[in-house]
Structure 1
Amino acid sequence: MKESARELVRNGVKEKLARNKLVVSMTVRLVRTIEIAEIARTAGFDSIYIDLEHSSLSLDTTGQICMAGLAVGITPFVRIASTAPEYIARVLDGGALGVIAPHIQSSQDAAQIVRAAKFPPLGARSFTGSLPHLRFRTFPTAEIFEALNEATMVIVMIESAEALAKVDEIIAVDGVDMLFIGTNDLCSSLNIPGQLDHELIRNAYSRSIEACQRHGKQLGIGGLSAHPKFAAELVDLGARYFSTGSDLSFLLSAAATKAKQMRDH
């Protein structure tokens, strides 16, 4: 029996979050080849997100890595460098199963991301055939829209005091799946740069988790890989998506440890 569009488009992260399970993610900033998707799976990650905001990776490279992720069962997200609708569409058409949108300041900003990421009737994303999510198979347009709207996640970043003040109305936007706290930038906005476990940050996370729980949404953690105890506390409070670090940081840390080990031998 031929598979339906919904059966082909599986978002493992969304399914796991629906079961209230912890999702662990790796950021891709350095590696430009598709092997990173298989490495992430072998290492035990659920997801990768390709960081186009803070890297020189191209859309072509991004699409190749996303398609590799789809092939091996690693959910590919992309942190976008621009919130322009045409940019979001290209990222999603290339194989991403969701966008992470930085610098969201209001519910209006969040609604614009949803509109760009979702097909009608939920949004205004332009349609093209031959999508990698469907293994380039053809299905009725309405079936494609329904399957991809269900699978595609919209993740909005809270990175400023202004956004934090509006966190409840931002997460309430229909079509937004997750808040993702950019801890470093939020620290800077709160005039406590680098103080990732400051009481103001703890309060920001508590407030955001409560807002997510009120609206049946999820909360993601970023920038706390050097504070595992704090991160664990947030998971206990209800955070379910944890960005553990980047390919660059993992490589540098392991290399530095090995070099020190040999010199200290």
Structure 2
Amino acid sequence: MSDASPGVLNPLLAKMAAGDLTVGMIVRLVRGVEIFAIAKTAGFDCLLLDQEHNSFSLETISQICIASNLAGVTPLVRVVDAGHASITRALECGAMGIIVPQIESAKDAATAIQAAKFPPLGHRSIAPCLPHLNFRPTPATEAMPSINSLTMVVVMIESLAALEAVEEIAAVEGVDMLLVGANDMCNALGLPGEFDHPKLRAAFQHVADACRTNGIHLGVGGLGPRPDLVEEMTSLGARYATAGADVTFFTNAAIAQARKFK
């Protein structure tokens, strides 16, 4: 972000609000700030730092988040759960938002909001000199509404329980996006890997309807190998998609290059 003053916007949120599809890169392998430069060069809108599926330390999260913010590549952190410590510590590292897995009720979503937002929306504790503001000393009365406005709360919908409660989850104040994990949703439906199955399409439609009713964004994950389905989800209103992970990109490129020599 180029302006560190209170009121600075989250570029990912701004682009989605304009009606554009945004694309994220999952980070599971690279632990250096070089990854934000690669993402920026490739044209990704954000980095999804995945604490749920790897061993990233908070120090690693912090360094990548701060560098990404300065470059205008929005850093989001997929935390391990909706616990207060998981969420607040990721945000204190400079994340512009959190992605919360295993949400299955409106109560779960509200718990995440309480940890992620400063009063009056939540009960997050205020600390001086936040990285989002380039560590500039800022009165709490200015810092809290500014950080609240740019902090995304993304709820994952990846189970049958979440699907059944999706209308109530989408209605929780402070939720910005519902992100459907296609692989886990397929598993929950008893259809592992069957991305073309009508039941999966129906699940996406159900979530899209809930998002539209409540004026929040729809996101899709796990469809990196199927850009045709991402296009279809965009027609349902999706404004965010993950294109894949760094480890997958690097491995696939390495395999393809090695095959050229064999």
TM over 0.5: yes
- Aligned pairs for 1:168-187 (under 5 A) are 168-187=167-186
Task: Say whether residues 1:261 and 2:260 are aligned partners.
Answer: yes
Q: With structure 1 as the length reference, what TM-score do the two structures score? A: 0.96
SS at match of 1:60: helix
Q: Match of 1:43, as an amino acid?
A: A
Task: Say whether residues 1:76 and 2:83 are aligned partners.
Answer: no
Q: Is the 8 A contact 2:118 2:124 kept in 1?
A: yes
- Aligned pairs for 1:234-245 (under 5 A) are 234-245=233-244
TM-aligned CA distance change 1:87 to 1:201, over 3 Å: same
- Aligned pairs for 1:31-180 (under 5 A) are 31-180=30-179
SS at match of 2:220: strand
**Offset at 1:5?**
1.2
TM-aligned CA distance change 1:183 to 1:3, over 3 Å: closer
Equivalents in 2 of 1:233, 1:190: separation in Å? 20
**Offset at 1:230?**
1.4
TM-aligned CA distance change 1:97 to 1:201, over 3 Å: same
TM-aligned CA distance change 1:238 to 1:260, over 3 Å: same
Q: Match of 2:6, as an amino acid?
A: A
197-206 vs 148-157, greater mean Cα deviation: 197-206
Equivalents in 2 of 1:181, 1:205: separation in Å? 7
Task: Say whether residues 1:211 and 2:210 are aligned partners.
Answer: yes
State the match for 1:11 in structure 2. Answer: 10
**Offset at 1:261?**
2.0
**Offset at 1:253?**
1.0
Q: Is the 8 A contact 2:128 2:138 kept in 1?
A: no
**Offset at 1:194?**
1.8
Q: With structure 2 as the length reference, what TM-score do the two structures score? A: 0.97
Q: Match of 2:147, as an amino acid?
A: L
Task: Say whether residues 1:22 and 2:13 are aligned partners.
Answer: no
The number of residue pairs the alignment matches comes to 260
Q: Match of 2:159, as an amino acid?
A: S
State the match for 1:247 in structure 2. Answer: 246
Equivalents in 2 of 1:262, 1:64: separation in Å? 37
Equivalents in 2 of 1:122, 1:207: separation in Å? 27
Compute the RMSD of aligned alpha carbons.
1.1
Structure 2 residues not aligned, in runs of 5+: none
SS at match of 1:168: helix
Q: Is the 8 A contact 2:25 2:244 kept in 1?
A: yes
Q: Is the 8 A contact 2:4 2:134 kept in 1?
A: no
Q: Deviations over 1:122-161 (max 9, x none)?
A: 1000111121111000111111001000000000000101
Equivalents in 2 of 1:205, 1:214: separation in Å? 14
**Offset at 1:4?**
3.2
Of all paired residues, the percent bearing the same amino acid is 47
**Offset at 1:94?**
0.5
**Offset at 1:88?**
0.9
**Offset at 1:3?**
6.2
SS at match of 1:78: strand
Deviating above 3 A after TM superposition, structure 1's stretches of 4 or more consecutive aligned residues are none
**Offset at 1:83?**
1.8
Equivalents in 2 of 1:127, 1:149: separation in Å? 11
TM-aligned CA distance change 1:88 to 1:3, over 3 Å: closer
**Offset at 1:87?**
2.1
Equivalents in 2 of 1:63, 1:164: separation in Å? 33
SS at match of 2:76: strand
Q: Deviations over 1:159-178 (max 9, x none)?
A: 10111011111011100000
SS at match of 1:262: coil
